[in-house]
């Protein structure tokens, strides 16, 4: 395969390696989903519907609403996958600002297992709040999330080290454990013992090599599904030159505390540190007024659905036949026009074209732009995350 270039940047030939087949059932004429990289980096899922979901920040109720709206989760409370061969991508920032973080992670893993049996898949991308917590930065942790860590450690003891069964079962057990908690406030300023216990519990789960950090280490920081690149923050040319699979491996090794030497692996700077790292980059959302230079191909999305953020109505992105639209409710009338205007929706949603900067939805956080650079389509939370379409770079 010939080398490719991005402007003046020369990139080496890609050598994708098939390491896994992600479904045991072929739905009709669809080929099985194939995955390269560990954690997943390159995914081939031709002909499938793709759904992208943004920041969830510990809000299990809004998570369920978003997934039901996307048509992948049953609405009967059984948490069953009904998406068939759909590919679901969650863009990170599950941690912080809400109290049901582990429950959401458990739900998504359970849905992935179910989805594979019907030809679908669930992928997760780590965001900056995942990397912050593995570094021990607990500034944005909700008190209820600290409680969840204490409960989860007690719950783990019942499974005697069987992590997979315990982790996937937590979504069913979490409601009972929340009821079991004492009605006393754990977070009075005099309850130093409970505070200390909570921090120790969270640290033991999320430190590099901890069980929950290892679970996060299964996820990518950048993911390519067919012609679509998903990442939290923003993809830049030097990230591509460094290597997408290399970044994923380094972050995963750091989270899992894997190292070829006796020393713990260093924090991967290019992916997790600095203003232009792949989980922190704000380049594409810094100045929405300058969106016209991107030729109407940037999608900026985060409705702040978590009650710990804006408590706004959930919205998700649907990609079918290389066309994207926003789903705002289960009876959404959004449609793609023939002239490829990115999106037009009902229910208080508007289109941003050219140099316009109009609000979309009541949360005033979903904006649409276009980027004339390798046909990229980005989904970005005003500070944090991006989904981009990259049509030809890896072909």
- When the pLDDT of each residue in the chain is averaged and rounded to a whole number, the result is 76
At 190-218, the pLDDT tens digits run 577 878 899 999 999 999 999 999 999 99
Assess whether pLDDT exceeds 70 at residue 372. Answer: no
Find how far residue 369's CA is from the centre of its chain. 21
Assess whether pLDDT exceeds 60 at residue 178. Answer: yes
Average pLDDT of the segment spanning 204-233:
94
At 51-82, the pLDDT tens digits run 999 999 999 999 999 999 999 999 999 999 99
Catalytic site residue from 57, 129, 232, 239:
129
* Greatest extent of the chain over all pairs of C-alpha atoms, in Å: 65
Assess whether pLDDT exceeds 60 at residue 271. Answer: yes
Among this protein's residues, is 129 annotated catalytic? yes
At 83-115, the pLDDT tens digits run 999 999 999 999 999 999 999 999 999 999 999
pLDDT at residue 249, rounded to an integer:
96
The whole model's pTM is what?
0.77
At 293-326, the pLDDT tens digits run 555 466 666 778 999 999 999 999 888 998 878 8
Average pLDDT of the segment spanning 7-28:
44
pLDDT at residue 216, rounded to an integer:
98
For every residue of 353-366, which 3-state class applies, written as one string? CCCCCCCCCCCCCC
High-pLDDT (> 70) share of the chain, %: 68
- For tokens 């009821």, name the residue: 179
pLDDT at residue 210, rounded to an integer:
96
pLDDT at residue 347, rounded to an integer:
26
High-pLDDT (> 90) share of the chain, %: 51
pLDDT at residue 184, rounded to an integer:
53
Is the CATH code 1.10.3470 the one for domain 17-389?
no
Confidence of residue 228 (pLDDT cuts 50, 70, 90): confident
């Amino acid at each position: 395969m010939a080398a490719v270039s991005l402007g003046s940047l020369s990139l080496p030939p890609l050598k994708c390696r098939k390491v896994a087949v992600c479904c045991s059932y072929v739905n009709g004429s669809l080929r099985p989903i194939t995955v390269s990289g560990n954690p997943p980096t390159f995914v081939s899922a031709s002909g499938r519907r793709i759904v992208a979901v943004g920041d969830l920040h510990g809000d299990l109720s809004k998570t369920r609403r978003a997934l039901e709206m996307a048509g992948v989760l049953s609405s009967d409370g059984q948490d069953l996958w009904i998406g068939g061969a759909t590919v679901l991508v969650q863009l990170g920032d599950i941690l912080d600002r809400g109290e049901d973080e582990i429950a959401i992670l458990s739900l998504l893993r359970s849905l992935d297992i179910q989805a594979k049996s019907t030809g679908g898949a669930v992928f997760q991308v780590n965001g900056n709040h995942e990397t912050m917590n593995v570094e021990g930065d607990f500034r944005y942790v909700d008190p209820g999330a600290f409680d969840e860590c204490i409960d989860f450690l007690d719950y783990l003891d019942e499974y005697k080290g069987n992590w997979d069964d315990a982790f996937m079962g937590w979504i069913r057990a979490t409601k009972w454990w929340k009821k079991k908690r004492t009605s006393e406030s754990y977070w009075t300023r005099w309850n130093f013992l409970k505070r200390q216990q909570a921090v120790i519990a969270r640290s033991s789960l999320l430190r590099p090599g901890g069980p929950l950090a290892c679970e996060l280490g299964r996820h990518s920081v950048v993911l390519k599904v067919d012609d679509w690149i998903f990442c939290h923050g923003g993809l830049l040319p030097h990230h591509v030159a460094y290597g997408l699979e290399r970044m994923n491996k380094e972050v995963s090794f750091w989270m899992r505390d894997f190292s070829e030497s006796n020393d713990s692996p260093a924090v991967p700077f290019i992916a997790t540190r600095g203003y232009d790292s792949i989980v922190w980059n704000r380049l594409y959302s810094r100045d929405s007024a300058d969106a016209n230079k991107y030729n109407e191909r940037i999608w900026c999305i985060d409705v702040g659905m978590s009650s710990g953020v804006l408590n706004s109505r959930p919205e998700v992105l649907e990609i079918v036949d290389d066309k994207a639209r926003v789903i705002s409710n289960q009876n959404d009338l959004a449609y793609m026009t023939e002239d490829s205007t990115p999106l037009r929706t009902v229910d208080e949603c508007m289109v941003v074209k050219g140099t316009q900067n109009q609000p979309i939805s009541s949360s005033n956080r979903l904006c649409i732009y276009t980027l004339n650079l390798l046909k990229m389509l980005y989904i970005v939370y005003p500070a944090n995350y991006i989904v981009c379409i990259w049509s030809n770079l890896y072909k």
